[in-house]
């Protein structure tokens, strides 16, 4: 089952995108609709709201007077927190029930207005953000919802800004174009990314990425490689739970200014490889299936026993976001080397440039990414004594797990 989080600022036009996704085969779970259902007349939710805020939040016929409630909580953080403490658990419970009734291969579209504001991005395989300029949204609120310009500006200002949304967005959907252009863009997204991603998650298959290596300069903000890694690591932590002792962005994309393939290398630390195997299925459901076979890092001279360098390797089922996920034992030589090497490159300009030159030479002659990785591997052993000297000189210690 693939879970898509659909969000955007007020009046950005989420409903248009949601309808297009449903037409393509998605199953819509609308958080606003569910939030209304859990406080309908006669529900425990409505009784709790009245107990908290008084009878003035009811209409004469006993329904929830939403404008009256809105006036009480808008701009009052304490009152809003009381309301959320009542409504959010009920919404979560009903959402889980609706999702549980869907087929296992469903593509679920969660229309949730405040994914960014409430830090919910880790709940979804993909976050789609519907975007429109503040001026366009202001005009829509005044024209279509009969708001005053002042009220519309206040509602917009109370939400996250576009920079915060872009940091979270796996896909940004520009909703200022003609409706036919927007629907065509959503159709391409479904065909090229969403549908194959869903098939891969269902089959526990890593997305295939053929072709030669291509080195890129690091992207600028807000969707930097570290920002993308942070969001994925949050999802992995959520999936793996307490068995995950550490979660780190490693490899070239974790080093500012270093050219790299557009592949995020991430590392999860566990107590034992048995723990790695216990969370493998959960990581697969989260979109990171285990790669079949036995995986061993190249032993370094100070610790030559290959059994100490065993790991588990996962990859991303998303065809548009390449990830190598290394699961290693906390404190083991492979776990330690990955972190030390990253921090060495971050702290030593000369070795960073040396490695960049090696990457460029190797990429030119490599037929594919596997050949590229194999060609670079001897260098990591060659520089081990220098890395150890740096560790000793700096008194480097790995981040606390």
User: Would you list which residues are annotated within the binding site?
Assistant: 11-16
If you count them, how many residues does the chain have?
401
Here the tokens at position 104 are 């296992």
DSSP of 132-168: --HHHHHHHHHHHS---HHHHHHHHHTS--HHHHHHH
| Structure-token pair, residue 166 | 């872009």
Neighbours of 378 (CB within 10 A): 10
Cα angle 149, 154, 156; round to 5: 95
Instruction: Return the bridge partners of 8, or none.
Output: 130
DSSP result, 86-125: HHHHHHHHHHHHHHHTS-TT-EEEEE-TTTTTTT-GGG-S
Can you say which residues are annotated as belonging to the binding site for ATP? 11-16
* Burial category of 148 from C-beta neighbours within 10 Å (exposed 0-12, middle 13-18, buried 19 and up): exposed
Return the SS3 of 375.
helix
């Amino acid at each position: 089952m693939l879970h898509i989080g659909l969000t955007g600022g007020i009046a950005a036009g989420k409903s248009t995108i949601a309808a297009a996704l449903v037409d393509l085969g998605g199953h819509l779970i609308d958080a606003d609709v569910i939030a209304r259902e859990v406080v309908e007349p006669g529900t425990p939710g409505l009784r709790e709201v009245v107990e908290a805020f008084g009878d003035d939040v009811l209409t004469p016929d006993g329904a929830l007077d939403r404008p009256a409630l809105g006036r009480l909580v808008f701009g009052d953080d304490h009152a809003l927190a009381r309301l959320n403490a009542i409504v959010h658990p009920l919404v979560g419970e009903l959402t889980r029930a609706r999702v549980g009734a869907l087929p296992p291969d469903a593509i679920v579209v969660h229309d949730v207005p405040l994914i960014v504001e409430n830090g919910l991005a880790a709940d979804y395989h993909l976050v789609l953000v519907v975007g429109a300029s503040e001026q366009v949204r202001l005009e829509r609120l005044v024209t279509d919802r009969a708001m005053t310009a002042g009220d519309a500006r206040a509602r917009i200002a109370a939400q996250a800004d576009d920079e915060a949304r872009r940091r979270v967005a796996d896909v940004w959907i520009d909703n200022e174009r003609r409706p036919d252009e927007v629907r065509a863009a959503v159709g391409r997204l479904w065909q090229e990314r969403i549908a194959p991603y869903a098939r891969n998650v269902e089959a526990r298959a890593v997305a295939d990425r053929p072709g030669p290596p291509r080195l890129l300069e690091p992207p600028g903000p807000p969707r930097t490689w570290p920002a993308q890694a942070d969001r994925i690591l949050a999802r992995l932590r959520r999936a793996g739970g307490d068995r995950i002792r550490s979660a780190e962005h490693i490899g070239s994309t974790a080093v500012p200014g270093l050219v790299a393939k557009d592949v995020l290398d991430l590392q999860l630390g566990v107590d034992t490889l048995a723990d790695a195997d216990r969370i493998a299925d959960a990581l697969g459901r989260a979109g990171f299936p285990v790669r079949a076979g036995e995986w061993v890092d190249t032993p370094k001279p100070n610790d030559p026993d290959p059994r100490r360098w065993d790991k588990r390797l996962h990859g991303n089922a998303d065809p548009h976001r390449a990830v190598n996920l290394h699961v290693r034992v906390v404190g083991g030589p492979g776990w330690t080397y990955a972190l030390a090497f990253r921090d060495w490159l971050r702290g030593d300009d000369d070795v960073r440039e040396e490695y960049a030159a090696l990457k460029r030479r190797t990429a030119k002659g490599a037929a594919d990414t596997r050949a590229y990785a194999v060609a670079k591997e001897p260098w990591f052993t060659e520089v081990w004594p220098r890395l150890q000297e740096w560790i000793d000189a700096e008194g480097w210690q790995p981040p606390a797990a």
